[in-house]
Amino acid sequence: MTQQLIECELHDYIEVACMYGYQLRLILKDRQVFAGKAKDIVTTADKREFLVIENEQGSQQIELIQLEKMQVLTANAQFSEVVF
């Protein structure tokens, strides 16, 4: 089985968002929208990577390969939008 991964440059943006705890709006390839504070990236035993965000619903995990767009809602952030 070939595991899909996102490009390293795009991964770096997610790491920065987690490091600074940016508020994000995430738009997935299936058009679902999630919002929350970036907390961490976790990797499962089978090498799938997930972005952990926190919002009113608690902690949610979004698989990185499902991301279409990441919009930063935090003022004065180092970047405002990343298209995957």
Question: The whole model's pTM is what?
Answer: 0.91
Q: Which SS3 state, helix, strand or coil, does residue 51 take?
A: strand
pLDDT tens column, 29-79: 999 999 999 999 999 999 999 999 999 999 999 999 999 999 999 999 999
Distance (Å, whole) CA 77 – CA 7: 21
For the chain, domain boundaries: 8-72
CB 3 within 8 A of CB 54: no
Q: What CATH fold (topology level) applies to the domain 8-72? A: SH3 type barrels. (2.30.30)
CB 42 within 8 A of CB 61: yes
CB atoms under 10 Å from CB of 11, counted, come to 14
Half-sphere exposure at residue 46, Cβ-oriented, CA atoms within 13 angstroms: 5
